[in-house]
Structures are given as C-alpha cells and as structure tokens.
Amino acid sequence: MTRWRRNESGNIAMSTPGYADDKVAVLARLKKIEGQVRGIHKMIDSDRYCIDVLQQISAATRALQGVALHLLDEHLTHCVVHAVESGGAEKDAKLREASAAIAQLVKS
Amino acid sequence: MTRWRRNESGNIAMSTPGYADDKVAVLARLKKIEGQVRGIHKMIDSDRYCIDVLQQISAATRALQGVALHLLDEHLTHCVVHAVESGGAEKDAKLREASAAIAQLVKS
Amino acid sequence: MTRWRRNESGNIAMSTPGYADDKVAVLARLKKIEGQVRGIHKMIDSDRYCIDVLQQISAATRALQGVALHLLDEHLTHCVVHAVESGGAEKDAKLREASAAIAQLVKS
Amino acid sequence: MTRWRRNESGNIAMSTPGYADDKVAVLARLKKIEGQVRGIHKMIDSDRYCIDVLQQISAATRALQGVALHLLDEHLTHCVVHAVESGGAEKDAKLREASAAIAQLVKS
C-alpha cells in the first residue's frame, strides 16, 4: 500500500498519517470526547457534586488515552513499519520518535 | 462559611460543591480543554502527523488531570473537612468516597 | 485512640503514622514487592523475553501503587482527620501536604 | 547483527532479548530499585511519616517505569525491527504484541 498523496497544490508529496484508514471512526471518538468535556462544563455550571464531576473527568481522560493508544498503534504498524522497510536514517529517526511518544504517553 | 443552599423547590437543603469559590476559573479551564479537543479533531481531519496529534492529546489529558486534582483538593478542604467537623456516619462515608476518587484518579 | 508516643530518648512526642494499625500487612506487601523486583532481576539475568519482563514490571508497579493508595487512605482517615479535628495552622498544613501527595501519586 | 543463540542443550535456537547489549546496566538499575523497596520496608518498620514513605514509593515507581520504557525501546529497535525486516506472520504478531505491551504500560 502506498502511503503518499499529492497535496492541494499538487506538487509536494506528503505521507498520509497512520490513522488514514479509520479516520472517520477516530473523528467520531473525538466528537464524543468533546461532548464529554462540554458535559463536565455543564456539571460544574450547575454545581454538581465534586465526586460525580471527577468520575466524568476520569471517563474523558480514559477516552482520550484510548484514542492516543489507537493512534500510536496505527503509527507503529504503518509509519514506523514503512520507515523500517525503507531503512537508513529515516528508520532510526522514526524509532527514536516513537519511543519518545510512548514515554510521553506513559508519563502523562 | 455556610456551604448550604436551598434548591429550586426551596425546601431541600443542598451543599454547594467544594469548587464553588473559583467556579469561574474552573469553567474557563474546561472551555479551554474543549477547544483543545476540537483542535485535535481538526488535526485528524487535516491528516496531521500522528506524533504531533499525540502531543496535543497528552496536553489535553494533562489539562483534564489538572482540573481533576484541583477539584479533589477543593473537595478535601471543603466537603471532607466539613464532614469531619460534623462527625458521625457522614464523616466515614465522605472519607471512603474521597479515597475511592483518589484511587480512580491514580489508575486513570 | 491516641496517636502519639515517646521516641527513644523519651522526651520528644511523635505521632504514630496512619498505617500503624495494619503495619504487619503493609510490611508483608512490601516484602512481596521486593521479591517481585528480585524476580525481574533474575528474568533479565536469564535473558527472558522483553514482553514477559514488561508484564512483571507492570505487576510490581501496580503493587507499589496499591501500597501507596493504602497509605494515603490511612493517612487521610487518621493523620488528616486528627489535624482537622485539632484545627488551626496544623489543619491547613496537613491538607496542603495531602493534596501535594495525591498530585505526586497521580503524576507518577 | 544476529540476535540468536543456542540454549543450554545446544539444539534449540532462542533469540536474545532486545536489552542484551546493556544488560549489565539494566541489572544495576533493578538492584537499585530492590534497595529502594527494601528502604521503604525499613521506613514502615520504623514508623516513618506517611508522606515521606509516599515520596519514596513514587521514586521507586518512577524508576520501575523508567526500566520498562527502556526495555520497550530496546524491544522496538531490535525485536520488532527484526520481525518487520523478516516480514510475514511474525511481523504482524510482534506489532500486535508491542501495542498490547504499550497499552498495559500506559494503563499501569
């Protein structure tokens, strides 16, 4: 599978991101999370009980984390695999970058 | 400081939440997080690079976590303290509930 | 329940920690975690497969987190409650300290 | 670089783990963490203050997490890269396994 496309001006090649195949599903998950955050805003605005608000924040946090893990998975199986197969400096750079992203995700 | 108010029907007393004093600031933080999530949606929609999207998800996750820690802090210093000062069953219930909320936050 | 005792020299009063009542159980959990870490060391020494080692590290991390949540719970229900009941500067200091400990735990 | 060796009986080929090149350093980090856990045990045994114990648990947890991230990084750059270069079913299996390990680490 080629993971390259032409941009609007038609003359610069850009790689499609690893999540290209299920972009619609990822967008739907983000819309839902946006709604969750708006719901938390409403809860605060209506003086809802702290503990109930905290539960909704945990749910939104886990949902964001789920999207991040999904994107990372797609990134590994597409972008990183592509770089490994191409070899050279790109391979090392992509591996270092992926490790840094994993570390950031684990620590956040 | 009294942390009780009448509800709409006027005959049931409800406690105000622990975050009542800085509700405006909390609401502003949530509006900003909602904007961050909308920004992530836009990044996905424009096929932005996976790693860049992951960084923004980390930022939004940390921001949500920050709001949760703030609410928990306010909950401890207002609701839990109030329950401890009142004593009795309410005190034990509030402490158990706070511990459960902390555990959930640590694990999410 | 008095939560104070004399130290060795007999002239400085020290509070007993919140976990005093189930110290034996906490010590046993820590002994087990020490064994888990020693087991991970042995796995590395015998060139065991990375993914299997990672699973054992996750188990040890969760076990440490479990002890931390337990200590925090005991700290809230004993030390913090005691400080709230005593009131004054001690109350505010203990609440600030507990919130900082929760934040550290959530972020680690 | 070949990452295969003979086992004790000499007739089954086993891959060396991704961390083979800096095994000595990883073993030293684990020895240190074992000492940290033993130190926490001593703190509990001497009735040290809850908050001080919690700080040491956070330090040990972060140290374990650091070893996990290091092992994962070595696993990606050696085992996963090797599987991708070999291709076939092994490639897909190793990628799925790596993603599961990352998810476990993020959630623990």
Residue recorded with tokens 């009986």: D9
Q: Is the predicted ipTM greater than 0.95, yes or no? A: no
Give the dihedral sign, CA A9/A15/A17/A23. Answer: positive
Mean pLDDT of the residues in chain B: 88
- Helix%, strand%, coil% for chain C, nearest 5: 75, 5, 20
Domains belonging to chain A, first-starting first, are: 21-107 (1.20.58.1000)
What average pLDDT does the structure give for chain A? 88
Give the tens place of pLDDT for each residue, B53-79.
999 999 999 999 999 999 999 999 999
Q: Which residue has the higher pLDDT, A80 or B1?
A: A80
SS3 label, residue C7? coil
Are D102 and A98 an interchain contact pair (Cβ–Cβ within 8 Å)? Answer: no
* Digit-coded pLDDT (tens) for C57-89: 999 999 999 999 999 999 999 999 999 999 989
Angle, vertex CA A60, rays to CA B74 and CA B103, nearest 5: 55
Which residue in the set D65, D98, D106 is minimally distant from A65, CB to CB? D106
The residue of chain C with its CA nearest to that of B105 is C106
Residue A78 has pLDDT above 90, yes or no: yes
Which pLDDT belongs to residue C8? Answer: 44
Q: Is the pLDDT of residue D25 over 90?
A: yes
Which of A63-67, D38-42, D87-91 is least confident?
A: D87-91
Write the DSSP assignment of chain B as a string of letters: ---EEE-TTSSSEEEPPTTGGGHHHHHHHHHHHHHHHHHHHHHHHTT--HHHHHHHHHHHHHHHHHHHHHHHHHIIIIIIHHHHHH-HHHHHHHHHHHHHHHHHHHH-
pLDDT at res. D2: 38
D interface test, pick of C32, C45, C53, C78 with most D CB neighbours within 10 Å: C53
C91: closest CA among C101, C81, C83, C79? C83
d(CA C94, CA D6): 59
Tell me the β-bridge partners of A13: A6
**Contact call for C106 and B81, based on CB within 8 A:** no
Query: Which 38-97 residues of chain C touch chain D by CB within 8 A?
Result: 38, 40-41, 44-45, 47-51, 53-55, 57-58, 60-62, 64-65, 67-68, 71-72, 74-75, 79, 97
**pTM summary value:** 0.87
Q: pLDDT at position C32, please?
A: 98
**Residues sharing a CB contact under 8 Å with residue C49, sequence separation 6 or more, in sequence order:** D17
